[in-house]
């Protein structure tokens, strides 16, 4: 599950050029010493003014605490109202493949305003990302193209190319990744967070986990329940320990079908005739919402046969690039206009389409490696024959044509060289009742029906706020005042709704 399915498309926060002034702040966990954090300024443009960064040393393998170590980039924004401070809130990003320090930079100002200094805000970069020690698989630019890194089948459901690519990627990761790549997993990210807690000298943490970050957060709450204070899970996936990311992927095809009508209504609205570049005829794609879906599907099939050149040399608009652009656009209504323009240009013989930035380049090497390694190290994936994989893809394409069989395609995990070091922890109702879930009703990546599985697993530990809206990411995201208020009230007062509630649009 990626936060924007872009897992790894967020730029990692660089601290290489920050001021060298250091202030040593030793911290000690109760009952023993903890690693020392040496904080330095690392404020970024448009981020919180007083953001600081440091490095945290953790065991490469927690089963060998005295063995080799790796460095994690960590960040904090101290409360600007010490008299109002009540604790520390960790921001846990999505992905796998997203930077915590970058997420803190993006959301720090909004959190400061919303929470009024009630928390020190902290985050860490998972192993291999941002300011943490990095490794990679040595993948080519072509293999890191998003439509190749994700297992989009060929026309008609042909999986032969994606099978060859998945095997090649798995082989490259085994050959080039080394011990650091092998250590990447949700379980070790959970342990890294607890090492960070100890280094901060905190008895407990509060948390805001988003997308894949909800799975990290709930695994932490399962392993260290006595270390959790107020726990927010935003945009939740099914925590089924037998499938993990394989289940999240499979759910996305149905989720896309549930979300697409929002785009179709938008694209058929007469108001779209006034949208878009001046003199361009607007962005209205059809007179009726029901006509948008068959038009898009027919266009994708035509592009399967006859790709169209774009403004990006060497990257034509294929059927799969259109499908991927459409899938990414479902994460936020703000992306609808750009996608409508892409569809218009694809249909216009005189126009040259402009690819969205996520499709015009390749996923950075280290981010691709973290995404692949984490999902493959977490749980063993089945190795299917080409005929079996083809049957699965063809069936999924027929049922959910908008995603073209992607959700059940062949990932590199099918050929992964390493067995998971441990089984994922099952999420249960054992633990304190201090979890608030928040969920969009029509989420294209972590769908509502998957979030209900998380809600069921947590039992009385949780309450859930459902927002009648489409898109991925709720709190401080798309501007739902009701949902934002429920989360903020919980973080400030500790009070949750007495029962699960629904927020209207």
Q: What is the CATH number of the domain that holds 211?
A: 3.40.50.1820
Note whether 40 and 21 are within 8 A (CB): yes
Tell me: pLDDT of 292 over 50. Answer: yes
294 and 265 co-located in one domain: yes
Residues 228 and 189 both lie in one domain: yes
User: Closest by alpha carbon to 471, among 505, 499, 502?
Assistant: 505
Is the predicted pLDDT of residue 7 greater than 70, yes or no? no
Q: Using alpha carbons only, what angle is made at residue 406 by residues 401 and 407, rounded to the nearest 5 degrees?
A: 100
The average pLDDT across 298-314 equals: 98
For the chain, what is the mean pLDDT?
92
Identify whether residues 266 and 364 lie together within a single domain. Answer: yes
Average pLDDT over residues 385-403: 96
**Segment 228-234 mean pLDDT:** 98
Range of the domain at 458: 39-135+181-244+424-503
* Predicted confidence (pLDDT) at residue 103 exceeds the cutoff of 70: yes
Which residues, other chains included, contact 388 with Cβ-Cβ below 8 Å and sequence gap of 6+?
A: none
Residues 252-275 have pLDDT tens digits of 999 999 999 999 999 999 999 999
Residues 286-300 have a mean pLDDT of 98
pLDDT for the residue numbered 281? 76
Collapsed DSSP state (helix, strand, coil) of residue 210: strand
Predicted pLDDT at 15: 23
- The count of structural domains within the chain is 2
Query: Kind and range of the H or E element at 357?
Result: helix 357-360
Tell me the C-alpha distance between 413 and 461, whole Å: 33
The verdict on residue 8 lying in a domain is no
Q: Is 482 within the bounds of a domain? A: yes
Looking at the fold, whether 395 and 277 belong to one and the same domain comes out as yes
One domain, residues 208 and 299: no
pLDDT at 279: 62
Does residue 478 register a pLDDT over 90?
A: no
Q: pLDDT tens for residues 311-366?
A: 999 999 999 999 999 999 999 999 999 999 999 999 999 999 999 999 999 999 99
Going by pLDDT thresholds of 50, 70 and 90, the confidence category of residue 33 is low
Judged against a pLDDT cut of 70, whether residue 4 lies above it is answered with: no
Is 164 within the bounds of a domain? Answer: no
13 in any annotated domain: no
Q: In whole angstroms, what is the distance from residue 70 CA to residue 58 CA?
A: 6
**Does 220 share its domain with 262?**
no
Q: Is the pLDDT of residue 483 over 60?
A: yes
For the segment 381-403, the average pLDDT, to the nearest whole number, is: 95
| Dist CA 413 CA 415 (whole Å) | 5
Residues 125 and 109 both lie in one domain:
yes
pLDDT digits (tens, 9 = 90+) for 174-227: 999 999 999 999 999 999 999 999 999 999 999 999 999 999 999 999 999 999
> Considering the domain boundaries, does residue 15 fall inside one?
no
Q: Identify whether residues 97 and 87 lie together within a single domain.
A: yes
- 308 and 368 part of one domain: yes
In degrees, rounded to 5, the angle at the alpha carbon of residue 238 between the alpha carbons of residues 364 and 406 is 50
pLDDT value, residue 27: 35
Residue 305 lies in a domain: yes
Residue from 477, 478, 471, 497 nearest 486 by CA: 497
Q: Above pLDDT 90, what percent of the chain? A: 90
Paired tokens of 329? 């656009």
Same domain membership, residue 385 and residue 435: no
Q: Give the whole-angstrom CA distance, residue 139 versus residue 156.
A: 27
The CA distance from 72 to 52, in Å, is: 14
**Total-model pTM:** 0.93
- Is residue 23 assigned to a domain? no
**Same domain flag for 256 and 371:** yes
Q: What is the pLDDT of residue 12?
A: 25
Task: Kindly tell me if the per-residue pLDDT of 124 is higher than 70.
Answer: yes
State whether 43 and 189 are in the same domain. yes
What pLDDT, on the 0 to 100 scale, is given for residue 36? Answer: 84
Residue 11 lies in a domain: no
pLDDT at residue 236 above 90? Answer: yes
Q: What is the pLDDT of residue 31?
A: 39
């Amino acid at each position: 599950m990626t936060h924007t399915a872009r897992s790894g498309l967020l730029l990692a926060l660089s601290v290489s050029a920050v001021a060298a002034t250091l202030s040593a702040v030793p911290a000690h966990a109760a009952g023993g010493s903890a690693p020392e954090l040496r904080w330095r300024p690392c404020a970024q443009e448009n981020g919180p003014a007083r953001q600081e960064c440091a490095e945290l040393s953790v065991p490469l393998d927690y089963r060998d605490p005295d063995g080799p170590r790796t460095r994690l980039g960590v960040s904090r924004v101290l409360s600007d109202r010490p008299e109002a401070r009540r604790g520390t809130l960790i921001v846990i990003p999505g992905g796998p493949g997203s930077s915590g320090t970058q997420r803190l930079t993006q959301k720090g100002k909004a959190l400061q305003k919303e929470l009024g200094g009630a928390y020190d805000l902290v985050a860490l970069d998972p192993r291999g990302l941002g300011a943490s020690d990095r490794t990679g698989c040595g993948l080519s630019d072509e293999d890191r193209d998003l439509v190749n890194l994700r297992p989009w089948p060929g026309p008609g459901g042909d999986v032969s190319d994606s099978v060859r690519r998945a095997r090649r990627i798995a082989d490259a990761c085994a050959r080039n990744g080394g011990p650091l790549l092998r250590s990447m997993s949700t379980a070790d990210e959970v342990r890294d967070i607890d090492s960070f807690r100890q280094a901060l000298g905190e008895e407990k943490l509060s948390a805001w986990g988003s997308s894949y970050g909800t799975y990290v957060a709930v695994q932490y709450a399962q392993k260290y329940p006595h270390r959790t204070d107020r726990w927010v899970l935003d945009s939740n996936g099914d925590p089924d320990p037998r499938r993990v990311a394989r289940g999240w992927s499979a759910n996305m095809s149905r989720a896309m079908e549930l979300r697409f009508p929002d785009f179709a209504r938008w694209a058929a609205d007469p108001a779209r005739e006034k949208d878009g570049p001046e003199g361009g005829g607007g962005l209205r794609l059809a007179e009726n919402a029901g006509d948008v879906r068959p038009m898009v599907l027919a266009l994708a099939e035509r592009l399967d046969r006859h790709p169209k050149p774009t403004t990006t040399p060497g990257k034509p608009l294929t059927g799969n690039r259109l499908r991927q652009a459409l899938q990414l656009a479902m994460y936020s209504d703000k992306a609808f206009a750009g996608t409508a323009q892409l569809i218009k240009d694809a249909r216009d013989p005189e126009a040259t389409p402009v690819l969205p930035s996520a499709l015009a380049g390749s996923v950075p090497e280290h981010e691709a490696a973290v995404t692949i390694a984490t999902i493959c190290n977490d749980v063993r994936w089945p190795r299917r024959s080409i005929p079996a994989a083809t049957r699965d893809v063809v069936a999924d394409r027929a049922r959910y044509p908008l995603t073209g069989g992607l959700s059940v395609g062949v990932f590199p995990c099918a050929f992964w060289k390493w067995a998971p070091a441990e089984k994922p922890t099952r999420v249960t109702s054992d633990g304190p009742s201090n979890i608030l879930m928040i969920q969009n009703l029509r989420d294209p990546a972590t769908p509502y029906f998957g979030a209900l599985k998380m809600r069921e697993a947590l039992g009385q530990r949780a309450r859930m706020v459902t927002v009648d809206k489409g898109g991925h990411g709720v709190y401080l995201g798309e501007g739902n005042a009701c949902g934002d208020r429920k989360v903020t009230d919980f973080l400030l007062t500790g009070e949750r709704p007495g029962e699960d509630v629904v927020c209207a649009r």
